[in-house]
Structure 1
């Protein structure tokens, strides 16, 4: 029997400016850059990882830097909004003031499924919302960045519910339950909420029905979402399940920081990723993300890679 998913692992989006994106995530949101590396499928571009203090699975928002790509457009059949977790309602009040100070577009504090949320956008239009963990249960959060600009008792410490918007609502609901074992905890005509693993803010998917214009990929949009599995054995079991079901997939991929398996459900790229090895094995804790980190199989190409990517300074120590 295939082991169940443990929660959200990471979300990867696209930016047109790695430096602006770095400043937004570290200086405004107060998340830690735990890895500055390259897109292993396009080694001339950056892949940056923002997470909690230790780079824990379930806390990282990652970005491909595609400076020459066009801006994406919002619409259906896309991952439409990314959730980020904060400890309590007071943290939302803190970020609301912070967003006003930094000129971050936001919708003010609202309520969603009985939880307080703060929807906002990055300067390129990428859409997020902060979820308050007040009275939340389920997947445990990470550890706030200890040396960040946001007080630890207010800081973002994990990924929250991921919103997916599709025109083929009923078909996608069936995949989430039948293939991935997600549990519906709320179902209405045009929205459904699913628990993943232990559920709660760190393990939920919001599925919305939308028959309007098709969204277009580009910077300011999400590339894919990844869900957690425990280890190599678990990801190989999922590979076997995909084969049995006739689902096309990437096959097992070793990303060095984690192992991965990709498939596309309609327009949505879904990755499964192992919890380890993680981001702490090749750099000291004190200087995570300060230099260009490459997996061993790319080290022979370091000189070429460094000649192609645009350098930007992430030194903090």
Structure 2
């Protein structure tokens, strides 16, 4: 059986690409590694932020939907994103930075067993900075040297992702029995799983919560993508998903990676995505994210697509 080596990316909804672009580059110091469009609806931007090359496990992606309403928070949703920073001193640095830049945040506390600083972007997307405290990170994560954040405090990549569901054990079975995640902690109404035991870059916390299903809007999380190395492994997991009785999209070629999508029993949308070929498939490392990149099947529509998109820096 193949193992899931960690998170691949996570995708959210934004109402305003320009504001989003400023926050994730100029406030959080991430690199915009791809400016492209939603391949299923090329009238909207699809922006990716991450490390130097947008390595798997560092990618935050956003679909711009200018007419989207607010999020009505509830259950059966992905409800929080953890981002790893090097140290406790980094949390203190970020707390001071958030205060100076009027970013909504809390005090330094504990979350999933780590020192943590909860915060939100301007659209209410809930995130938490987590003290990596010298733990291993994937060797291929590569820092972006031109970040506005000094090296000792830069965001490293994705950590714990929070799922909130009505029926905890249904989602737990999907992670544990289907994907081989390891249970590392359990308390009343909460369980933590890791794809690689002892490592937070593939960690998922499931929280039980009754009530209304979340109604997505600006600042909500659309789906979580988990990593596989290549198409061979993706085809293996396609078979596993089918055997478990879940309906999937089948394998979709996204040009920068191949993937499939399915919803587990609580309705959480998962994507399984390959590591490659990556964002340098149509760009040099130096030019990543600077121009509008389109997959080959959309290139002939470039003039039409660009005419419908508002320019962003």
Aligned partners of 2:191 and 2:50: how far apart in 1? 27
Give the CA deviation at 1:138: 6.1
The alignment status of 1:231 with 2:199, answered yes or no, reads no
Structure 2 SS opposite 1:187: strand
Q: Relative to structure 1, is the Cα distance of residues 112 and 141 closer, same or farther in structure 2, using a 3 angstrom cutoff?
A: farther
Structure 1 SS opposite 2:3: coil
Structure 1 counterpart of 2:29? 30
Aligned partners of 1:112 and 1:312: how far apart in 2? 35
* Deviation by residue 1:107-151 (Cα, 9 ceiling, x = unmatched): 121112331111100011010001111043465572222101000
Aligned partners of 2:66 and 2:159: how far apart in 1? 27
Aligned partners of 1:215 and 1:45: how far apart in 2? 23
* Deviation by residue 1:70-115 (Cα, 9 ceiling, x = unmatched): 1112111100001111111111111111101110000121112331
Aligned partners of 1:29 and 1:138: how far apart in 2? 19
Aligned partners of 1:205 and 1:65: how far apart in 2? 26
Structure 1 counterpart of 2:45? 46
Partners of 2:55 and 2:140 within 8 A in 1? no
* Deviation by residue 1:154-197 (Cα, 9 ceiling, x = unmatched): 10120111000001112211121111111100011210010113
The alignment status of 1:302 with 2:295, answered yes or no, reads no
Structure 1 counterpart of 2:278? 278
TM-score, normalization by structure 2: 0.96
Q: Relative to structure 1, is the Cα distance of residues 276 and 309 closer, same or farther in structure 2, using a 3 angstrom cutoff?
A: same
* Deviation by residue 1:264-289 (Cα, 9 ceiling, x = unmatched): 11221000000110111211222211
Paired residue total: 312
Q: Relative to structure 1, is the Cα distance of residues 140 and 215 closer, same or farther in structure 2, using a 3 angstrom cutoff?
A: farther
Aligned partners of 1:277 and 1:246: how far apart in 2? 30
Aligned partners of 1:108 and 1:296: how far apart in 2? 47
Alignment of 1:47-66 (within 5 A): 47-66=46-65
* Deviation by residue 1:272-312 (Cα, 9 ceiling, x = unmatched): 00011011121122221111001111101111111111121
Structure 2 counterpart of 1:209? 208
Structure 2 counterpart of 1:13? 12
RMSD: 1.3
Structure 1 counterpart of 2:288? 288
Structure 1 counterpart of 2:177? 178
TM-score, normalization by structure 1: 0.95
Structure 2 SS opposite 1:240: helix
Structure 2 counterpart of 1:69? 68
Aligned partners of 1:68 and 1:149: how far apart in 2? 31
Give the CA deviation at 1:199: 4.6
Q: Which runs of 5+ in 2 are unaligned?
A: none
Structure 2 counterpart of 1:219? 218
Alignment of 1:7-156 (within 5 A): 7-137=6-136, 139-140=138-139, 142-156=141-155
Give the CA deviation at 1:213: 3.1
Q: Which runs of 5+ in 1 are unaligned?
A: none
Structure 1 SS opposite 2:163: strand
Aligned partners of 1:59 and 1:291: how far apart in 2? 21
**Greater shift after overlay, 135-144 or 75-84?**
135-144
Aligned partners of 1:242 and 1:172: how far apart in 2? 13
Give the CA deviation at 1:152: 1.3
